[in-house]
Structure 1
Amino acid sequence: MAELQLDKIDLAILKLLQGQGKLSNQELAEKVGLSASPCSRRVKAMEESGYIAGYATLLSAEHFNLSLTAYVQVRLEKHSQAILDSFEDKITQYDEVQECCLLTGSDADYQLKVLIADMKEFKTFLLEKLTTDPHISGVKSSFVLKQVKSKTSIPLPTQLP
């Protein structure tokens, strides 16, 4: 399959879908100046080529009483592939963990974003789940006082090559 070359209309479609994922194909087509069929074909092509990775509904954490966000830096005792893989396998099973990133340039090996109800639940997560891993040599937690910016969209180019 040939690499899909995006044009200005494709970028407009992607920008609209990132901000308003519930737009119907007809609404999307009208906003970018196409008829429904060509718009639908473009979206399908971008899905098939991987530009559109998927669709999701963003839920309000506060409506589910998830009011505490913590960033947890984790340091492992060793850096063998088996230990890294084991840690990553465990972390993917914890629903509280929203993100897990392997780091460089830091004292920590991983940074976790944890979303949880309160400090009591965080204590349970920390002591009964996370730190039960025998390969963890240190944990440092920071708590969000105020979220200044949060977005799910990625920056798109303003000009094409």
Structure 2
Amino acid sequence: MDEKFFDRHDQAILRILLDDSRTPLQEIGKAVGLSTTSCWNRIKRMTDAGAIQSYTVKVDLAQIGYQDTVIVQVTLGSHSQETLDEFGRALESIPEVLEAFLISGDYDYFIRIAVKDTRDYERLLREKLYKIPGIRHSKSSFVLRTLKKKDTPLTG
């Protein structure tokens, strides 16, 4: 999206939607000083341009039984496109994998996984992660506390 079309009103609208995507247009308009129609047009333009990709619900993972988060760093034995594609597909099939990044540096992947507890993580390793062909090395770290978590750099 071209920056000249992404002004302070668009940023203000996005901040409101990031806080609660169910906020009524009338409320958004009042908060940002624009008419309901103007807000709707801006939201539609940002959606059409791909800046707004979806509307979703934030879930407290602990409330639904996933008490722990594990960061797993993985190195693959091969870096062929076929190996990378197969590894990506395998991660897609594991519901506990929340995010996976192909990274530079000592490891190839940085993966964030939600688990119920250490036994659940052990099960996931044995039954799912270690069954993916091509993993040469992995390193796991349990998250002790989340200090900051945001989806965008927009501030309030």
Give the Cα–Cα distance (whole angstroms) in 2 for the partners of residues 7 and 148 of structure 1.
30
Give the Cα–Cα distance (whole angstroms) in 1 for the partners of residues 87 and 98 of structure 2.
15
Matched residue, 1:56: 56
Matched residue, 2:76: 76
Matched residue, 1:151: 150
Give the Cα–Cα distance (whole angstroms) in 2 for the partners of residues 38 and 134 of structure 1.
52
Give the Cα–Cα distance (whole angstroms) in 2 for the partners of residues 82 and 5 of structure 1.
40
User: 1:37, CA displacement in angstroms?
Assistant: 1.3
Structure-to-structure mapping, 1:1-161, within 5 angstroms? 5-105=5-105, 107-152=106-151, 154-156=152-154
Gaps of 5+ in 2: none
Which stretches of structure 1, 4 residues or longer, exceed 3 Å deviation after superposition?
A: none
User: 1:19, CA displacement in angstroms?
Assistant: 1.9
Moved more, 126-135 or 92-101: 126-135
RMSD of Structure 2 on Structure 1 (CA): 1.8
TM-score (norm 1): 0.90
TM-score (norm 2): 0.92
Between the two proteins, what is the percent identity of the paired residues? Answer: 36
SS at match of 2:72: strand
Give the Cα–Cα distance (whole angstroms) in 2 for the partners of residues 10 and 123 of structure 1.
45
SS at match of 2:69: strand
Gaps of 5+ in 1: none
User: 1:65, CA displacement in angstroms?
Assistant: 1.4
Give the Cα–Cα distance (whole angstroms) in 2 for the partners of residues 119 and 131 of structure 1.
16
Give the Cα–Cα distance (whole angstroms) in 2 for the partners of residues 59 and 24 of structure 1.
21
Give the Cα–Cα distance (whole angstroms) in 2 for the partners of residues 122 and 7 of structure 1.
44
